[in-house]
Amino acid sequence: MKKSLTLLILTSSLMGGYTFSQTSQSGGGHHANMQHHAGSSTDTRVEVEYPPAMKEHTLTSMRDHLLAISQIQEAMGNGEYDKAAQIAETRLGQTALKTHNAYENSKFMPKGMQDIGNQMHRSASKFAIEVQNSGATGDVKPALIALSKTTQACVACHAGYKLK
């Protein structure tokens, strides 16, 4: 029962984060965003030009970010909060900046994209702390909120930018 409740909260948190991020990006309501995605064939995201090798490296890093989030969710579902924290910090958090060549990548990013990326990495590090606290307190809500802020940054970046 506890695992089902945790999964329900996690899913709701992620969906709420998606809605929040979409609303804050466009300034419109959820309904307006759904219409934009459903009926619009025009991609209004800012194109960011990367050298081909760096583009491939960046896309690989982003796919690893998705895999890390999936592994974090699995670890949390299994009550392995320290494992979730380790994955978050080493693959998404401030520690991951060097691994993902973030400094070099940031040279090609518009400031808004840099800001969102920095927010994602800071949020992931905060999540790592919160999920470790969950192991001690048994309360996963602060960790789920922190994880949602991490994924909100991902959604905001992908909604606003695309690699060229």
- Residue ranges per structural domain of the chain: 2-163
- Residue range 113-141: mean pLDDT, rounded: 96
DSSP of 133-156 = HHHHH---HHHHHHHHHHHHHHHH
- Residue range 81-109: mean pLDDT, rounded: 89
Alpha-carbon torsion angle 7, 8, 12, 15, nearest 10: 50
Q: How far apart are CA 53 and CA 43, in angstroms?
A: 24
Reported confidence tier of residue 16, pLDDT bands at 50, 70, 90: very low
Question: Taking 90 as the threshold, does the pLDDT of residue 4 lie above it?
Answer: no
Is the pLDDT higher at 117 or at 36? 117
Please give the DSSP secondary-structure letter assigned to residue 27.
Answer: S
Say whether pTM exceeds 0.85: no
Its sign, for the CA torsion 11, 127, 82, 102, is positive
- Residue range 110-115: mean pLDDT, rounded: 95
Query: What pLDDT, on the 0 to 100 scale, is given for residue 21?
Result: 45
DSSP3 helix / strand / coil % (the chain, rounded to 5): 80, 5, 20
Question: Taking 60 as the threshold, does the pLDDT of residue 22 lie above it?
Answer: no
Query: What pLDDT, on the 0 to 100 scale, is given for residue 147?
Result: 98
- Residue range 130-136: mean pLDDT, rounded: 96
Distance, CA of 162 to chain centre: 16
Nearest partner of 141 among 3, 2, 1, 10, judged by Cα = 10
Question: Taking 90 as the threshold, does the pLDDT of residue 103 lie above it?
Answer: no
Residue with tokens 């192991």, as numbered in its chain: 135
- Residue range 33-51: mean pLDDT, rounded: 75
